[in-house]
Chain A
Amino acid sequence: MTASLELRDVEKRYGDFVAVAGLSLAVPAGVIFGLLGPNGAGKTTTLRMIMDILAPDSGEILLFGRRRQAGDLQRIGYLPEERGLYRKMTVIDQLLFLAEIHGMKRRQALPVVEDWLARVELGEWGRRKIEELSKGMQQKVQLIGTVLHQPEILVLDEPFSGLDPINQGLFKELLLDYRRQGRTILFSTHGMEQAEKLCDHIGLISGGRLVLAGELAEIKRRAGGNSYRLVAPATAADLERVRALPGVEVAIPRDPLDPADPRSASVRLLLAPGASSSELLRQLVQFLEVRELRSEEPDLEDIFIKAVRDAA
């Protein structure tokens, strides 16, 4: 599979601060690729460099398997994390303008715009100014603006943040539809659940470095077999003791520990390779009233935390 988008040893500094440090990443064509990482990991900087809004200090960015050429950006749909529209423009004028800067002719764009507006039930609103629309409607207009020019690659920065549930659903459908058409989608998020549901591939970055990348199913398969769910009444101090046990790599409370009713506490445990679960259970029962300890498929959050820890 050819990479439709590739970063090679890309670095970006702001003064003394290294935002992205030697990042190499390949996004295969026709997949949904999730760029994951906590806030400040360098996701936005990476996407901005892909969109040529920022220039990397070193390294190379390849689009469609070669160095960037004039007109490449018009083949990408970009949704920044900070988004907005001209408040005083009408919906149609706004969308036509966005289509035009992405290389479409006005005449050719108008039917597409009208088609889209009808599809998201904004047909009646085309002649209204953006400022007259509700927030949810404005989000729809923004989404249309991102995909209007039929981009081959979508680059989306935290696409689901701030979207209302209806638009989240709309957007998800659109992404899946795009993948079916063989287009490539790269999106960043710090919400692991979204990524888990949508992505084929993921890249985890932390502190500007890639700590893990690959096909999601494969990553999960590799990490599997070592993840457990523990249900036991536990206090914060108990949790500390669990963490200190030999063989335990990560212990994350799933539900917040409620001091009034510790009975519900459930903890996700990741064990070191080769650690034995029966040995773990033997140690746990010495200070906890264990109700349940069962093997589970790890979720992305576990994998991420472990990967960051291993990288450190």
Chain B
Amino acid sequence: MRPEHAFIVAKREYLARLKSKGFWIATALLPLFMAAMFLGPALAASRAKAEQRLAIVDATGAGLGRLLAAALTERGAGLDDRAGLDDRAGLDDRGERGEGVVRFETQLVPPGPDPAVRRAELDRRVRAKELGAWVWLTPGGLRDNRFEYHAANLSNVVTQEVLRSRISRVVSQWRLRAAGLDAAKIAEVTRPVALSTVRISATGSHAEKGIGGFRLAFGLCFTLYMVILIYGQQIMQGVIEEKSSRIVEVIAAAIRPTELMAGKLVGICLVALTQLAIWVAAALVLTTPAILALLTLPADRTLPEVPWPVIAHLFVLFLLGFFLYSTLYAMIGASFNSVQEAQQFAAVGVVFIVPPLLFIMPILNDPDSPLAVGMSLFPFFTPLVMMLRIASKMPSAWQIAAAYSLCLLTIAGMVWLCARVYRVGILMYGKKPTLQEIWRWVRYS
């Protein structure tokens, strides 16, 4: 292995990619894409409010129907319900300022002499789309704390949740009034409370929206996921390109395959680091106080603080993740003749990198849980899971050291394996190899 040879290859990879339009388009587009991913659903939720035409049948004889209709249509409805929802949905913090998510248009319908006839009629109106849903308030329901809700669509969980919480409030207010409290008193005792969140970190404590920390962890984890996957696939495509364009044999006659492989990995790694650095620099510039002042953020909103150690770990985790996955992809690339052939094996990489994304919620909710610790110690999961943990609450030093060491050991193994498959694979044209054949390359080379 002569480093100067690897350097020539790395330089070619780096310059060729930096000169391509694709790199700059991706550098500009990914932040836009991420912004759309995060803001999109929140904006959509706040703009496109659900509407429901609701018939309220009050058979309680206690005037509950009227109270409910008033509660559902009052201005600013949904305030406190939203706070409850947000904790679960986790992605929107507009609740305390915004309007209700669901707008109800209510009509009171008397139960009539024969409830069965009335129910049939209401069902018919729902089917004819005159109504969205109907709710039936009964004395029995009041006693058992359970009312009926009939609708054509029952996957409208947000609407149901708002309705449920509103009925609960109306019922509890009605009960309080029945117990002798006056309206002002009731309003006072049922006022909801909120949590002001303060992050305790190594450097001190400061107020921060829980949702901000969540976004930071999610954003960093997702960035890592995208970059590792994109550049892993680029390695694979690069190797296949050299193989299918047949240039590889010309190169292999002048320098060792391991030098070619090392140069390729390092060159593409530097491209990725360049891109990450551009993003981090852009984020730092855009969040300087001078720029933020231009953005007229509401006074009560704070951006999450991104401490330097977290940025440092982002780069370290990227390097670990990159070499874990790029060696895997280089191996896959070297084994096949075309991207199409390699595609089914490329899915192997995805299988390893995706599981952490499925566990984002439980990991962020308790970053020190056995699940989070265990996953962060499995090398192929380490980059993403550790990113989540580090961004939310710095894990203990021994856990970080253990996870990184395991990663480095695995990388050493992957490089060894990859070098062997690569050496043989890049000169194998023609037939698609079987797994047994690839294993034979490893044993004999």
List chain A positions with a Cβ less than 8 A from chain B. Answer: 48, 51-54, 70, 73-74, 76, 78-80, 82-89, 93, 97-98, 100-102, 145-146
Q: Are B247 and A101 in contact (CB under 8 A)?
A: no
For residue B125, CB closer than 8 A to chain A, the reply is no
Additional A-B contacts beyond A53-B252, A70-B2, A87-B245 (9; CB < 8 A): A78-B254, A80-B249, A82-B429, A83-B250, A84-B246, A85-B245, A93-B12, A101-B8, A101-B254
Interface Cβ pair total, 8 Å cutoff: 64
**For residue B254, which residue of chain A has the nearest CB?**
A101
Contacts of A97 in B (CB 8 A): 8, 12
Could you jot down 9 A-B contacts, CB within 8 Å? A51-B252, A51-B253, A78-B250, A82-B246, A84-B244, A85-B245, A86-B247, A89-B16, A145-B250
Cβ-defined contact, B427 with A83, below 8 A: no
Task: Determine if B20 is an interface residue (Cβ-Cβ < 8 Å).
Answer: yes
Among the listed A70, A73, A87, A100, which residue makes an inter-chain contact with B253, where contact means beta carbons less than 8 Å apart?
Answer: A73
* Given A53-B427, A86-B16, A87-B245, also A80-B253 (CB < 8 A): yes
Q: B431 CB to closest chain A CB, in angstroms?
A: 13
> With A70-B2, A97-B8 in contact, is A102–B254 under 8 Å at CB?
yes
Closest 9 A/B residue pairs (Cβ)? A84-B246, A84-B245, A78-B253, A80-B249, A51-B253, A82-B246, A101-B254, A100-B8, A84-B247
Interface size range of chain B in the complex:
20 to 34
Q: Which of A54, A86, A101 contacts B255 (CB 8 A)?
A: A101
Shortest distance between the CB of B394 and any CB in chain A (Å): 43
User: Complex Cα distance A98/B250, Å?
Assistant: 9
Question: CA separation between A76 and B254, bound complex, in Å?
Answer: 8
Measured CA separation A292–B313 after assembly (Å): 89
- Tell whether B164 is near chain A: CB-to-CB under 8 Å: no
Contact with A along B46-67 (1 / 0, CB 8 A): 0000000000000000000000
A302 to B254, CA, bound (A): 37
Q: Which of A52, A76, A79, A101 has the most CB of B within 10 A?
A: A101
A93 to B19, CA, bound (A): 12
Interface residues of B (CB under 8 A from A): 2, 5, 8-9, 12, 15-16, 20, 241-242, 244-247, 249-255, 427, 429
Across-interface contacts of B242 in A (CB, < 8 A): 86
Most buried by B among A48, A76, A86: A86
Task: List chain B residues, Cβ under 8 A from A82.
Answer: 246, 249, 429
Q: What separation, in Å, do the CA atoms of A82 and B15 have in the docked complex?
A: 26
Please give the distance in Å from B238's CB to the nearest CB on chain A: 10
CA A67 to CA B245, docked complex, whole Å: 32
Among B9, B242, B249, residue most surrounded by chain A Cβ atoms (within 10 Å): B249
Chain A contacts for B246, CB-based, 8 A? 80, 82-84
Contact across chains for A73 and B254 when beta carbons are under 8 A apart: yes
CB distance B247 to A85 under 8 Å? yes
Collect the chain B residues with CB atoms within 8 Å of residue A83's CB: 246-247, 249-250
**A74 near B250: Cβ-Cβ < 8 Å:** no
Give bound CA distance, A29 to B252, whole Å: 24
Bound: A102/B20 CA distance, A: 26
Contacts of A54 in B (CB 8 A): 427
Q: Are B253 and A53 in contact (CB under 8 A)?
A: yes
Q: B residues within 8 A CB of A87? A: 241, 245
* B427: A residues at CB distance < 8 A: 48, 53-54
Q: Which B residues touch A98, using CB under 8 A? A: 250, 254
Q: How far is the CA of A207 from the CA of B159 in the complex (A)?
A: 80
Complex CA–CA separation, A80 to B253 (angstroms) = 9
Knowing A53-B427, A88-B16, A101-B5, the reply to whether A80 touches B250 (Cβ < 8 A) is yes
Contacts of B251 in A (CB 8 A): 101
* Distance in angstroms between the alpha carbons of A70 and B249 in the assembled complex: 18
Residues of A within 8 A of B2 (CB): 70
